[in-house]
Amino acid sequence: MTKPGDSQTTKKTIYELVKEFPNKTYNELEKYRNADRNEEAQRIITQQENEELKDNQLTESQRKQAELEPIEEVDWEELYEKEHTLRQEAEGETNIVKAIGMNSPEMKAAKLKIEELQNSMDRLRKENSELYNRIADLTESPLQKARESGL
């Protein structure tokens, strides 16, 4: 049997309560329903207070850390500006180094050497392919040639 304060009765209407407790008066059923509402409200308030306490309480390790390293007031705006200017300077220097490096005579010579090596590699691949085909032609059996010629 359901008692006041049970979580099942919190959503029941008066009609449902009358079916469940036919011997009770309307006023008694209202008391049941109001008691359930009050319990639920109290439970919600208690949960909220518990959550606030948890948020406000530091763990033991956090307290010890705060004791060892007290947090001083930091001017975050000033730190941000310093970091920002340092990053801009570093980026500018990087761009200068890249520009000089790409247009330097050493880079141009390296590009020419790479192009020369690529051309040489392409030529050697072509020669290798031709030599492979010549060897294949020379190693064909005489019998195979005679069959192809129709003998």
Per-residue pLDDT reduced to its tens digit, 21-80: 888 888 887 888 888 788 888 888 888 887 777 766 667 777 777 777 766 677 888 889
61 and 111 share one domain: no
Same domain (yes/no): 17, 63: yes
Taking CA atoms, 21 is separated from 12, 26, 28, 34, 107, in Å, by: 12, 10, 10, 16, 95
Question: Residue 47 falls within a domain, yes or no?
Answer: yes
Host domain of residue 113: 105-140
User: Which residues, in sequence order, are CB contacts of 1 under 8 Å at separation 6+?
Assistant: 20
Q: Which of 43, 36, 42 is nearest to 17 (CA)?
A: 36
How many CB atoms within 10 Å of residue 32? 21
Domain count, the chain: 2
Q: Which residues fall within 8 angstroms of residue 30, CB to CB, at 6 or more apart?
A: 14
To the question of pTM greater than 0.75 for the whole model, the response is: no
**Residue 98, in any domain of the structure:** no
Domain boundary among 20, 44, 68: 68
pLDDT value for 71? 64
